Chain A
Amino acid sequence: MVRKWRWKLALVSLLTTVLAACGGGSATQAPTTNPNRVTLTIESWRSDDQKVWTEQIIPLFEKSHPDIHVEFRPTAPTEYNAALNSKLEAGTAGDLITCRPFDVSLGLYTAGHLTALDDLQGIAHFSDVAKSAWQTDDGKTLFCLPMASVIHGFIYNKAIFNELGLSEPKTVDEFFAVLDKIKQDGRYTPLVMGTAEQWESATMGFQNIGPNYWFGENGRKALIDGSAKLSDAAYVSTLKDLARWGDYLPDGFEAVKYADAQMLFASGKGAIYPAGSWDISYFNQNAKFELGAFKAPVAKANDQCFISDHTDIGIGINAKTAHMAQARTFLEWMTGPEFAGEFSNALPGFFSLSDYPVSLKNPLAQTFVDWRKQCQSTIRNSYQILSRGEPNLENELWRMSVGVIDGTFTPEAAAQDLQKGLDNWYKKP
Chain B
Amino acid sequence: MLRPNKSRPRWHIAVFLAPALLLYSIVLVFPLLDTLRLSLFSSNGESFVGLSNYQRLFTDSQWWPYFWRALKNTVLFFILHMLLQNPLGLLLAALLDSKNLRGRSIYRTLLFSPTMLSFVIVGFVWQLILSPTWGIAPAISEFLGVRYRPWLGLESTSLPTVALISIWQFVGIPMLFFMTALLAVPQDILEAARVDGASAWQLFWRVKFPLILPTVGIVSILTFIGNFNAFDLVYTAKGALAGPNFSTDLLGTFFYRTFYGFQLQLGDYAMGTTIAVVIFLIILFGSLLYLLGWQRKVVTYEL
Contacts and interface: CB of A to CB of B under 8 A. Distances in A.
Interface residues of A, number: 46
Given A1-B276, A398-B241, A399-B243, A252 B264 contact: no
B62 A390 contact: yes
Interface in A397-429: 398-399, 402-403, 406, 408, 421, 424-425
Contacts of B150: 252-256
A71 interface: no
Nearest to A257: B127
A95 interface: no
A interface majority secondary structure:
helix
Contacts of A146: none
A392 B62 CA distance: 10
B244 A387 contact: no
Contact of A3 (B31, B131, B246): B31
A69 B127 CA distance: 46
A325 interface: no
Contact of B244 (A382, A392, A406): A406
A197 interface: yes
Interface in A214-270: 250-257, 260, 263-264
B217 to A, nearest CB: 24
Contacts of A425: 62
Interface stretch (B69-77, B152-160, B183-191, B197-205): B152-160
B152 A255 contact: yes
A394 interface: yes
A154 B181 CA distance: 61
A383 interface: yes
A198 B152 contact: no
Nearest to A408: B245
Nearest to A267: B133
Contact of B252 (A1, A6, A264, A408): A1
Given A2-B272, A260-B134, A394 B264 contact: yes
17 contacts: A2-B255, A102-B264, A103-B264, A103-B266, A194-B153, A196-B153, A252-B149, A254-B154, A255-B131, A255-B152, A257-B131, A387-B264, A390-B62, A395-B257, A395-B262, A406-B154, A424-B61
Given A1-B252, A402-B245, 10 more contacts: A198-B241, A198-B243, A250-B132, A252-B131, A252-B153, A253-B132, A255-B153, A392-B264, A406-B244, A424-B62
Interface of A: 1-3, 5-7, 102-104, 107, 194-199, 250-257, 260, 263-264, 382-383, 387-388, 390-395, 398-399, 402-403, 406, 408, 421, 424-425
